[in-house]
Amino acid sequence: EVVLDVDERARHLALSTEAPDSDVARALEEAAEHARARGATASAAELCEQACRLTPLDEPDAARRRTVAAARYRFVAGDTARARALLEEALPFTSGGDGLAEALVLLGRLHRYEGDQPQAAELLRRALAETSASDRVRAEAAQGLAATLFFMREELEIAQVHAALGAELAA
């Protein structure tokens, strides 16, 4: 109650909690977003991972969302190995739609960044195939696939179609 800083308050709550707790997990997730907004992505990842640890088992969507967010923050912070581990942990428990597409887009981006363009293209195609995903996530998948195909200098006409689709969905 004494600590006013959002991040520090959430850290203290996490340190004082051993069992899963929805309120503490939510406070940690909010603190992670606050840390990300100020550019502290490593801190955001740590807070998000703590939120995952304290998410009750009966909240699988929240756990998946927090795991993918932690992976995104790890990736931006340069910890690609941990980002990959988090995504590979989350994928088997992620149902279709937005959640799966978002995880696949991020994993595809990771593969592209690490130089495995064919695997990136496959993952981005799978993400784009999730037609129930939001336009935002599908736009990211289409843009990522277009960039990957262009980088490989393969299927350039298809890359152009995906680039146009990405722009349309983003609009």
Blockwise average pLDDT, block size 10, the chain, 171 residues: 75 81 90 91 92 91 90 94 91 81 93 93 93 90 94 89 91 89
pLDDT of residue 98: 82
Count other Cβ atoms within 10 Å, centred on residue 171.
7
pLDDT of residue 168: 92
Residue 8's nearest CA partner among 45, 56, 43, 54 is 43
pLDDT of residue 76: 93
DSSP state of 19: S
pLDDT of residue 157: 92
pLDDT of residue 140: 92
pLDDT of residue 11: 78
Q: Tell me how far apart the alpha carbons of residues 32 and 41 are, in angstroms, rounded to a whole number.
A: 8
pLDDT of residue 8: 79
pLDDT of residue 154: 85
> Encoding tokens for residue 94?
């992620």
Q: Are the beta carbons of 30 and 6 closer than 8 angstroms?
A: yes
Count other Cβ atoms within 10 Å, centred on residue 80.
15
pLDDT of residue 93: 77
